[in-house]
Amino acid sequence: MKLNGAMNNLKLLPVILVLLSCGNEGVKTDEKPVDIQELAKNQPEVHGTELKEGDITLSNPLDTTMVHAGKAIYELKCQSCHRLTEDKLVGPGWKNVTKRRQPLWIMNMITNVEMMLESDPEAQKLLELCLVRMPNQNLNREEARQVIEFMRNNDGEK
């Protein structure tokens, strides 16, 4: 009788081995560690000047050329830390960011992150939440404006 039970266990062995060998093959994850310093190396920092009320004009309807340019910038410089959903990766998710923050605040955060982290209470709260300083991505005003247009598109504006 004991031999019969052992034989049944041996019959299950190939099934168990197949299941164990499958692992995570074919499963794609976006959970790669992000090396912020590697992303910013060989980039001399460019600090923007603080933008004031009236420095930004939003288009209505959205400027599709700017949306596409902003998407390219996001894919190159932003997506390793920010998701287009509410999910936090390294930095906060971007979903509805243009509904929570004024364009002037977003532009200053993009173009002069150091000034914002030193003086803006909301930026300081984000730093406490994320525990990682946003690196200076050296975007100029026009590029930052393109990113905002992409953010607005992501938030469903037309």
Average pLDDT, whole number, for the chain? 82
**Whether 122 contacts 132, CB under 8 Å:** no
Looking at the DSSP bridge assignments, the partners of residue 88 are 82
Give residue 1's pLDDT. 52
Work out the pLDDT band at 50, boundaries 50, 70, 90.
confident
What value does the mean pLDDT take over residues 114-124? 93
Identify how many contiguous H helices and E strands the chain contains and give both numbers. 8, 0
List domains and CATH numbers for the chain: 60-158 (1.10.760.10)
Q: From CA 156, how far away is CA 158, in angstroms rounded?
A: 6
What value does the mean pLDDT take over residues 81-95? 96
Using one digit for the tens of pLDDT, what is the confidence trace for 6-42? 555 556 655 555 555 555 555 455 556 656 556 556 6
What value does the mean pLDDT take over residues 96-120? 94
What value does the mean pLDDT take over residues 102-131? 93
Instruction: Determine phi and psi for 14, rounding to 5 degrees.
Output: -60, -35
DSSP labels, 97-129 = HHHHS-HHHHHHHHH-HHHHHHH-HHHHHHHHH
Using one digit for the tens of pLDDT, what is the confidence trace for 63-85? 999 999 999 999 999 999 999 99
